[in-house]
Amino acid sequence: MPLPERFLDELLARTDIVDLVSESVRLTKKGNSYWGCCPFHSEKTPSFHVVPDRQMYKCFGCGKGGGAVNFVMELENLPFKDAVAVLAQRVGMQVPEFGSSPGARERRDKILTINRQAARAFHRWLHGPEGAEGLAYLQRRGLSKRTLTNFGLGFAPNGWDSLITELSAQGYDKRDLLDAGLAVSNKDGRIYDRFRNRVIFPIIDVRGNVIGFGGRVMDDSNPKYLNSPDTPVYNKSRNLFSLNIAKTSKAGRVILTEGYMDTISLHQAGFDSAVASLGTALTEEHGQLLSRYFKEAVIAYDGDGAGIKAAQRAIPILEKAGLKVKVLRVAGAKDPDEFIKAYGREAFARLLDQSENQVDYRLAQIQKKYNLTDDSQKVAFLQEAAQLVSTLRSAVEREIYGGHAAQTAGVSPDTMKLEVERALKARLRKAKKQQERRDLTPASQLQPRARSLRYENIRSARAEEGLLRLLMLDPGLAGKMAGITGMEFSSPLLGRAFDALIRRAGEGLSTQLAALAENFDREEMDHLAQVAARPESVANSERAIADYISLIRGEKLLREGGEQGDDLLLAVQKKYQQKKAYMEEKK
C-alpha cells in the first residue's frame, strides 16, 4: 500500500525547502532563488540552486536534484519511507501506515533502541565491579568523572555473552544484536558479544542517536581498537566521533584528531570543537559533513609517518569541501593528548594559534624528499613545488608561496615565479583541451548524465521536457494536453513522469517535482530536476503545447517509418522557425 498522496501533498506544503536546506547548507539569496555549496559533493564555488517557487533544489555540479523528500533521502542516506518520517516529525505530522511488511524505518528504530540500551549497560558496568579494570585505565589516562559521563563511556565485561544476556532480558534476541553489529557469529553458527573486555566509546550522531561503538583494549594486545561494522544506522565514512558536541562549539574551527582519546582529552581541556574519524581515513563525505558546521579545520594528527601521510591525504579533501585548512605540528609529544598532559592547556592553545598554513606544510613535506645541497635535487624540488603552487587560485597566493619555496631552495623569487607560471600554463592548456572536446559534442550536453536514461531521440525528448515543465508550472494546463499520453514519448522516463503529472493534475493534487519522489528512483529524480530547472514560460503556453505535441508526434511517425512523417516534420520545423522568429522580434 503506497503512501496516501494527499498526505504527501500536505507534508510538502508544510515543508519549506529553503528552511530545510538551510539547516545543512549556508544559502545566499540571489533574485528569487538561493545558492550555496552543494552538500553532496565538494566544491568551493556555489552551484547548488534552491528554487522556493518550485520547492526544488538542483546542483549544477554533481547533478543531484529533487524536492524535500529527495533532499533528506540523499543527505541522510535514507529510503523514501524513512525520509517521509523525518519530514513528518519535523512539522509535527503523524505518518499513516503504508506498506504491508515491516520496513527499513522500523528496522532502524529498533537498532537505535538496542544501541541506546547497550550504551546504558556499558556505562553501568564501567562503574560496577566488572568494570573496575576499565575505570582504572580511564582514570590513569587522566579522564575525570564528568568527562566519563559527558561522553557516556563504558566497559564491556570479559565474557562471551554479557550483553546478549542483558538485552535478552529486555526482549531482544541474538539476531537483533547481530543486526545492530553488537554480536558476531562464528563458522559454527555460535553467536557471541562483539565487544569483550574493552573500554567502550559510544558513537553518537548529530541528532543525538547512539549509532555505534568503539572498543579499546587496556594493554598492548591487538586489535587495539574494535569498531562497530556498518549497519542501517551507522556508516564510518559518513560519521565523526564527537561531532554531536563539536557542532555547537563557538570556536569557529574544527580540530581533527586521529583517535577517541585525543578528542576526549581536548574536550576535557576546553577545546570543544575536536572530532575524530572512526577507524578510517578522512573521506569526502567527512569533509562535506564538517563544512556544514565549520569554515576552518586544524589537522592535529600524530607527528609520525602515518600521521603525516594521513594529513597529506586530508588536506585536499577538506579544501575541496571549502574549508580553510591549517596543520598543527605537535612538538615534544607524539599526539595532542600527550602534549596537554606534559605541557598543559595554555601551551596547547598557543600551539593551536600557531598552526601552519597547509601550503607551507605541504611545501615542507616536499622539501623532506630532496637534498637541497645537490643541484639536480634542488631543481626537482622547485619543479614539484611549482606544481603545488600552480594549483592555488589566487595570484597573490602563488607569489607568496612561490617566494617561500624560492627562499627554501636559495633561488630568486623571479626564477620561481617563471617556473610557477610555466606549470600554471600547462595546467590551463590541459583544461582548455578538455573543454574543447566537450564543446565539439554539443548533443551530448543535452543527454541525461546517467547512461541508463539516455535519449534515443533528442529532438523529441526536448519537446517532452517542455510539456513536463509546463505541467509543473501550471497544472491547469493539463486540459490543454488532452489526447497525448506518455506512450507517445520517445523517453520512457519522461513518459512515465508526464502520465503521473497528468493524473495528479486531474485529481487536484500537486504537480510539483517533489510529488514524484515515491515512484521515481534517485537517478531519475536527479534528471527530472535537471529538466525542471531549465527555463520555461507559461506565456503563450497553448501555442507552445501545440508545437511540442506536433514535434513529438512527427518524430514518432519518423521512428515508426510512417509515409507522412517527413511532411509532418517539415511542417513542425517550419512552425518552430516561425515561433523563434516571433520571439526574437518580440525581444
**Residue 558 belongs to domain spanning:** 455-586
Three cell numbers at 521? 528512483
**Cis (ω within 30 of 0) for the bond into 102?**
no
Last residue of a domain, one of 389, 414, 439: 439
pLDDT of residue 451: 77
pLDDT of residue 499: 93
Per residue in 90-135, pLDDT (tens digit) is 888 888 865 544 456 678 889 999 999 999 999 999 999 999 999 9
* pLDDT value at 243 more than 90: yes
Which has more confidence, 294 or 444?
A: 294
Tell me if 314 is assigned to some domain.
no
Asked if 503 and 522 sit in the same domain, the reply is yes
Q: How confident is the model at residue 435 (pLDDT cuts 50, 70, 90)?
A: low
One-letter-per-residue 3-state SS of 565-578: HHHHHHHHHHHHHH
- Give the Cα separation of 504 and 517 in Å (integer): 13
Tell me if 59 is assigned to some domain.
yes
Percent of the chain predicted with pLDDT > 90: 43
Which has more confidence, 30 or 568?
A: 30
What is the mean pLDDT of the segment spanning 416-428?
90
pLDDT of residue 101: 42
Asked if 160 and 83 sit in the same domain, the reply is no
Q: How much is the pTM?
A: 0.65
Per residue in 480-516, pLDDT (tens digit) is 887 899 999 999 999 999 999 999 988 888 898 998 9
Per residue in 537-563, pLDDT (tens digit) is 877 888 889 999 999 988 888 877 654
- Give the Cα separation of 141 and 136 in Å (integer): 9
Which has more confidence, 385 or 584?
A: 385
Contact in structure between 455 and 419 (CB atoms under 8 Å): no
Asked if 406 and 460 sit in the same domain, the reply is no
Q: How many residues does the chain have?
A: 587
Tell me if 329 is assigned to some domain.
no
Instruction: Kindly report the CATH number assigned to the domain that includes residue 483.
Output: 1.10.860.10
Three cell numbers at 27? 544559502
3-state DSSP assignment of residue 126: helix
Per residue in 269-288, pLDDT (tens digit) is 999 999 998 877 888 888 88
Last residue of a domain, one of 439, 468, 496: 439
The single-letter DSSP state of residue 56 is E
pLDDT of residue 565: 46
For the chain, what is the mean pLDDT? 87
How many H helices and E strands in the chain?
25, 16
Beta-bridged to residue 35, according to DSSP, are: 28, 49
Last residue of a domain, one of 182, 215, 234: 234
Tell me if 210 is assigned to some domain.
yes
The residue assigned the cell 573521506 is: 283
Contacts of 316 (CB under 8 A, 6+ apart): none
Q: How confident is the model at residue 574 (pLDDT cuts 50, 70, 90)?
A: low
**Angstrom distances, CA of residue 72 to CA of 40, 57, 82, 85:** 11, 12, 9, 10
Tell me if 108 is assigned to some domain.
yes
The residue assigned the cell 600554463 is: 425
Instruction: Kindly report the CATH number assigned to the domain that includes residue 23.
Output: 3.90.580.10
Per residue in 189-225, pLDDT (tens digit) is 899 999 999 999 999 998 889 999 999 999 888 888 8
Asked if 432 and 555 sit in the same domain, the reply is no
Tell me if 322 is assigned to some domain.
no
Instruction: Kindly report the CATH number assigned to the domain that includes residue 176.
Output: 3.90.980.10
- Give the Cα separation of 524 and 376 in Å (integer): 55
Asked if 499 and 570 sit in the same domain, the reply is yes
Amino acid at site 20: L
Residue from 538, 546, 580, 532 nearest 17 by CA:
532
Tell me if 323 is assigned to some domain.
no
Pairs from 17-25 (Cβ < 8 Å, separation ≥ 24)? 17/50, 17/52, 17/55, 17/56, 17/57, 17/67, 17/68, 17/71, 17/514, 18/50, 18/52, 20/68, 20/71, 20/72, 20/87, 20/90, 21/50, 21/57, 21/71, 24/75, 24/292, 25/292
Asked if 479 and 388 sit in the same domain, the reply is no
Percent of the chain predicted with pLDDT > 70: 92
pLDDT of residue 122: 97
- Give the Cα separation of 135 and 138 in Å (integer): 5
Greatest Cα pair distance in the chain: 91
Q: How confident is the model at residue 305 (pLDDT cuts 50, 70, 90)?
A: confident
**Number of domains the chain is built from:** 4
